Structures are given as C-alpha cells and as structure tokens.
Amino acid sequence: MKKLSIIAFTLLFAVGISGTTVAQQVVNQGDITAGGGLTFTTGVGSGGGGEIGVNVNGYYSITDEIRAGAGLSLFFGDFSPTQFNIDGHYIFKNEDGLVLYGLAGIGFWSWSFDLGPFGSQSVSTSGLNLGAGVEYDMGGFYLFGEPKLTTIGGTPINITGGVRLRF
C-alpha cells in the first residue's frame, strides 16, 4: 500500500510539473513592450466620418495580470486629429502565445480646423476609454489588435492593429 501511495504521489507530481511547463506565459511582471501600427477611428472626420492614422504605444507590466502605458495616434484626415491615451490592461488569458485583455483609461483629443482667410482653430477634449485587445506571439514580435470606445462627443470607436516588441 505504501508503494502504491508513493507511485500515485510521484505520478501526480509529474503531471503537475508537466502541466505548468506546457502553458508558458507571454506577459510577465516587469516586461516592457513598445510598438506601433495603423488605427481607424469613427466619428471625427467630415460629417462624422472616419479617419485613418498611425499609432505608437508602449506598456509596462506591473504584475503578470496588470500593465499600464500610453499611446499616441496621428490621423491624416481633414481635421488632423491627434489622440493621446493613457490605458491600463487587465490580462484575462496569458498562455500558449496568446494574450487577451480588457482595457480602460483616459483619452485626450485635439483637432485643428483650417478656416481659410480667417486663420485656424484648435479644439481639445478628453474622455474615458473602454475596450479589449489581443496579442499573439509570432516568435520575436507580437501581433496585436484592439477595438476601443472613447466617451467624447460623437463617441468615436478606434480599431488599432500592429506589431509590438517585448524588451
């Protein structure tokens, strides 16, 4: 009976160790990520249309589940909007090369209007960000995508995708 207990304990221990080594985390405490990509936003162009732009961002992993960072988006449309975000991520899934996260933060927007012979006008506003995201390990870099709602006038939805590097 004692031999059977030792064998059972050894098997459970081996299964436990192999189970923890199979699912490797992608994001770990202390990681720094930086990247960029393309972004599309709704509700800020002429007549409430959309604008396409570029995005750069960076994040620091405070714990294995929480990271914080900032991003800057520059858009190419007729109003030349600029967006600066400070966001936090709560990571729900962090294994097997896949990261799924929810996000919340604050967004700051600025627009410039060309009024022709009357000069130009600038407008700024801010709002809360709510969204989700996904990262996938491609072996040396990470593909990411995230839809985000910003609660400002017109309530724009941003869809951003690109590449991040982990340092």
Cα separations in angstroms, 117 against 78, 114, 122, 138: 17, 9, 15, 51
- Mean per-residue pLDDT for 140-156? 86
Euclidean distance between CA atoms 120 and 60, whole angstroms: 38
- Inform me whether the pLDDT recorded for 7 exceeds 60: no
Contacts of 57 (CB under 8 A, 6+ apart): 34, 35, 36, 69, 70, 71, 72, 85, 164
Kindly list the structural domains of the chain, giving each domain's residue range(s) and its CATH number in brackets, ordered by start.
26-166 (2.40.160.20)
pLDDT at residue 80, as a whole number: 74
pLDDT at residue 154, as a whole number: 65
Cα separations in angstroms, 53 against 36, 131, 138: 11, 19, 24
Cβ atoms of 96 and 112 closer than 8 Å: no
Question: How does residue 16 score in pLDDT terms, banded at 50, 70 and 90?
Answer: very low
pTM of the model: 0.78
Cβ atoms of 132 and 146 closer than 8 Å: yes
Cβ atoms of 106 and 83 closer than 8 Å: no
Residue of 23 and 83 predicted with greater confidence = 83
Q: Tell me which residue of 96, 89, 86, 97 sits closest to 65, measured CA to CA.
A: 89
Question: How does residue 117 score in pLDDT terms, banded at 50, 70 and 90?
Answer: confident
pLDDT at residue 152, as a whole number: 75
pLDDT at residue 115, as a whole number: 76
Read off the pLDDT of residues 17-64 as tens digits, 9 standing for 90 and up.
Answer: 444 444 578 888 999 999 999 999 887 655 566 889 999 999 999 999
Q: Supply the DSSP symbol for 132.
A: E
